[in-house]
Structure 1
């Protein structure tokens, strides 16, 4: 049977009465520590959030809620021992138990852990907007964090054995969401023997050899990790997710090693696939390597799972492929003339011009007419490599975009690319009175929600692109006004110099006339002076730049009106994040 909810230090659970005490604590309470939330309940323990009344410090305290057998007392203490010796950013950190709580509950000590305020991964997956999986940026962040945490545990000869969304918590660290592994209550220290034959865990994420009570090794965590990542991509588990493990294991155990997905048709037939199901949020360039990675992680054979060790690096091949996925340099470009996103895998040291040639091939917009803008409205620098389109540490097309405009056009007539309804949603649209079984109805509902949310995100991205264009226009306008002011200043200086020159010429001509009365003259000099006077007069005619000032002011007025329009206002979260 599956255990109860997660005994983890993540937030987001029900509010407990202020000042409620730990079961079994001394009558005097926990001194300045006040219980604020009940974070989770597991097979043996409760996890509660305690906050210090004076300092505001918060800590997650795990206490035993049952009388334990000797074996389970050893397991409880073993978890505390494991937690205390681990130190990794993607494994929840054990803390010193506050002095006021340093007592036994049901004959076992308390476990103090860092408090993670973002709740657990299950809470995130259960949000309606994630019914067809998480965003690409969230998936890649999870892959990086939990992959790193699992490698750390295995390097320290520890198998977790109970990886599942409820045992992954989220922590906001400086505006970045960090995923952390919790609940090592079922972890097995390999120093106790590399193969183990006893297990109680969460069966839906359980590797087949554990389910069958066979011996196992670190590859059990690969299966659980692969199952979790698949669920984050698709919104459901990979193999007959509507069935209980006792049922689906029998139907899946003879699958091809490369099969990563199985669904049951209306007639009861099981359909296998080596590909990820649609819809999902991964861009096309990541899908194939992700499928290759999942094929290694979801191999039924524990000996083959993970791909074995790479002979050159002595690292499991699954983690090499994972690193390859995470290190891909992909630039995502929204073509504002068609509302279509095109993605390019950047070559090492690729120039911006090389990227623009590829963009021209995909979009038909010539390199000379391409205007590539960042979200801030700044143009890409042609002197810098194409990697300026990618921000280090920022992954996923939903988190960072470059906007493509066609300089030869001021109005985009389309046609704009639009989302199409999935077959199952379209089926319901055509016949809204049709009755479907609950699993199929849930699938239709999920894909309909995914479609509507996708439309909203498409709209927000187009708005963001228009805003980038407006910011660019404002920047150009500011530069234009600066240049105009410099030109006016220079014009006024030239005008003053020209007037001074005119006066000098007139004065020289007057003096020359006086000299002629005494017979002193030079026709050549007189001709040169008159030519200079004519040129000065011509310059005086060309020096009027007032009309430029008027045109620039008119343009500025139009831009101010554009800023005031509702179309220039930030729209939703995408706009507010700028």
Structure 2
């Protein structure tokens, strides 16, 4: 849309002319803005010199616009009072519409970046919006008859681009017979029956719509876009029923095809679906065009097929072994295993060796369906999944560069051959697209390399956590073993000191010696020095510092910019300079891009191989650490069992000692025989001499006072010694019982 400067005279009340948007057969369109509210409107003004027939069409367009209400059809607005009297003829009304700031589709297609078609997501959005608008018009019994990129405008709404149909000046309301005979519309997008002046129906919009879609996909119209209409009609009418394109080759031969020509930006799955749809709606015979009406829904089959295509979800998988992108239609409930089986068939990578990563480095969760990953995305921008082969020793060795288009291959081989301006324009456009494709190909693979690095860091993080856990367990085990060994050695030392005068047991002594030896062996399970030698931290740091790990596509971007400038210069040449010329300059850039791409690919593959090798080391190290951790836990359980056995042995010794202390008199005490003294009940802690009652003395000694007193004194002394020994044993038992033995109970419970 052309824009011109606005003068102070272009003001009507509070409305100021801001931009002249364009002109057509009926008049011109300008954008006006309110000075205070900043509201913007597109106002279409009718030409003074319109014929009576066109004046009628003008009024009809306004009437149609005022009663339409659809998000993909530009809506009408109220004409400001200040403009009604000052703009346009007195007898013809003005048409005010919503202003769409994104320009029209022609401007998008004319962008050099879209010389070989728009991006896949943009193509799908355009198809969806335009199809919705066309169906709405047909449902309201209106044929547009002039669908073309200039009559489709773009508006940004809720962070999404909306495509809207405008200019219903040639639209016609269907009569009862649903047939029309007037010849209207732009020739390049005109259905054959309109060109021939035959009767027509809504299927004329099918042809125009399909032509626009084809141009969005490839960057040019399907059937000989630069040929004179009469010659065009004579050749194209000979096309086959399923042919959707006619191309003039370098030798001037005309070639028909039923496939979408390369290059374009669609994935193979979507390409196949749209080829089938285009074959249906680009049918020369209007009675067969669109596939007829579905009896169940009453809707055209062509739009039903298109709805299915638009609802379908496609998963893109970048094979990091070959560099190819694999595309799969995915159902919402489809499992990850089903995807693995497809990849095993197409990528020839065994299921067990497949590693699927998102761009975040996270592996696909087998518990989730594939469709759940696609549902997280908005619009037609689907996530890329990266496929790695775990068994590859040198990954990336078989990565293939993007295929060179035939036309680009021709000018590379024949760079000095003189071509017409249109031939050069098409060839240079494809050459620029190929250079951009090389840069995008490397960028995708570098993103896959980044995903591999993030996956490596995630595995290393898990390894670090596991290693820290193993180290803590090792330290704890060593401390427990050392304490246990020290305790056992102390027991052995004290046992040896009392064996000559106290309790002895060779079986017990041997058991404690075995415990000490077994505990010493348990220390070996906590030794992680062998695993420390296999640490991969230094390798990871080296990979992160590698210059190849960072963005390296600048050299390709520079070549792409030069190719774009060269292509733009060719397109903008004045008509008088559009003669024959060679392709030497563009071919130099193509060869340079291919060489640089090959160099970058070798560096990327080398780094990727190191990343995957390092990851394999970590993957192999993890089970060893887990095994060591489990052995250390088992050693702790064994140590607890040894401690329990040792405690039982100690309590057995105490039991034996207590039993002997009750049964055997103290050493050196006399045997009194029949004169034994009855047992005394002594309060705890009492150790003083206790006098015996006189009734317990032997009667034969009662009369002899001196001797009797000596015997009594000796007996009291022996009794005092016995009581003191018993008290000491009781005190020792009390001291043992007062200790905290809860840890033993807890250990026993854990062991059970």
TM bucket normalised to smaller: 0.7 to 0.9
The CA distance in 1 between the partners of 2:235 and 2:347, in whole Å, is: 46
- Structure 1, unmatched stretches of 5+, are 1-11, 22-27
Matches within 5 A, 1:371-520: 371-388=355-372, 390-391=374-375, 400-409=383-392, 411-412=394-395, 414-502=397-485, 504-506=487-489, 508-509=491-492, 512=495, 516=499, 519-520=502-503
Task: Report if the CA contact (8 A) 2:245-2:256 is conserved.
Answer: yes
TM-score by length of 1: 0.84
Q: Equivalent residue for 2:228?
A: 244
Match of 1:16 among 5, 17, 40: 5
Task: Report if the CA contact (8 A) 1:264-1:271 is conserved.
Answer: yes
- Structure 1 residues 462 and 521, CA, compared in 2 at 3 Å: closer, same or farther? same
The CA distance in 1 between the partners of 2:418 and 2:242, in whole Å, is: 35
SS in structure 1 at match of 2:132: helix
Matches within 5 A, 1:190-339: 190=174, 194-264=178-248, 270-339=254-323
- Structure 2, unmatched stretches of 5+, are 558-752
The CA distance in 1 between the partners of 2:457 and 2:4, in whole Å, is: 49
Task: Report if the CA contact (8 A) 2:543-2:549 is conserved.
Answer: no
The CA distance in 2 between the partners of 1:201 and 1:508, in whole Å, is: 109
Q: What is the Cα deviation at residue 65 of structure 1?
A: 5.0
The CA distance in 2 between the partners of 1:570 and 1:99, in whole Å, is: 60
The CA distance in 1 between the partners of 2:553 and 2:323, in whole Å, is: 17
The CA distance in 1 between the partners of 2:361 and 2:7, in whole Å, is: 49
TM-score by length of 2: 0.66
The CA distance in 1 between the partners of 2:28 and 2:435, in whole Å, is: 39
Task: Report if the CA contact (8 A) 1:104-1:110 is conserved.
Answer: no
Task: Report if the CA contact (8 A) 1:16-1:35 is conserved.
Answer: no
2:22 maps to 1:40 = yes
Task: Report if the CA contact (8 A) 2:320-2:396 is conserved.
Answer: no
SS in structure 2 at match of 1:172: strand
Q: What is the Cα deviation at residue 406 of structure 1?
A: 1.4
Task: Report if the CA contact (8 A) 2:250-2:423 is conserved.
Answer: no
Task: Report if the CA contact (8 A) 1:206-1:223 is conserved.
Answer: yes
Render the CA deviation track for 1:56-90: whole Å, top value 9, x for unaligned.
54443333354545544443343333333333332
Match of 1:93 among 72, 75, 78: 75
The CA distance in 2 between the partners of 1:499 and 1:13, in whole Å, is: 89
- Structure 1 residues 538 and 131, CA, compared in 2 at 3 Å: closer, same or farther? same
The CA distance in 2 between the partners of 1:66 and 1:88, in whole Å, is: 31
SS in structure 1 at match of 2:164: strand
SS in structure 1 at match of 2:63: helix
Q: What is the Cα deviation at residue 308 of structure 1?
A: 0.7
Per chain length, whose mean CA-contact separation is higher, i.e. which structure has more relative contact order (CA < 8 Å, sep 6+)?
Answer: 1
Task: Report if the CA contact (8 A) 2:104-2:150 is conserved.
Answer: yes
Tell me whether 499-508 or 535-544 shows the greater mean CA deviation: 499-508
- Structure 1 residues 58 and 504, CA, compared in 2 at 3 Å: closer, same or farther? farther
The CA distance in 1 between the partners of 2:470 and 2:41, in whole Å, is: 64
The CA distance in 2 between the partners of 1:515 and 1:93, in whole Å, is: 109
Render the CA deviation track for 1:261-289: whole Å, top value 9, x for unaligned.
22346776644333333333333333333
The CA distance in 1 between the partners of 2:16 and 2:176, in whole Å, is: 39
Matches within 5 A, 1:141-156: 141-156=125-140
SS in structure 2 at match of 1:365: coil
Render the CA deviation track for 1:190-219: whole Å, top value 9, x for unaligned.
368733333432121111222233332211
Aligned positions, number = 553
Q: Equivalent residue for 1:557?
A: 541
- Structure 1 residues 507 and 51, CA, compared in 2 at 3 Å: closer, same or farther? farther
Q: Equivalent residue for 1:24?
A: none
Q: Equivalent residue for 1:5?
A: none
Task: Report if the CA contact (8 A) 1:121-1:169 is conserved.
Answer: yes
Q: What is the Cα deviation at residue 348 of structure 1?
A: 6.9
Render the CA deviation track for 1:4-49: whole Å, top value 9, x for unaligned.
xxxxxxxx6435337672xxxxxx6342x44433322222333333
The CA distance in 2 between the partners of 1:290 and 1:139, in whole Å, is: 11
Task: Report if the CA contact (8 A) 1:19-1:36 is conserved.
Answer: no
Q: Equivalent residue for 1:78?
A: 60
The CA distance in 1 between the partners of 2:248 and 2:403, in whole Å, is: 25
Task: Report if the CA contact (8 A) 1:394-1:400 is conserved.
Answer: no
**Alpha-carbon RMSD:** 3.4
Question: Highest Rg: 1 or 2?
Answer: 2
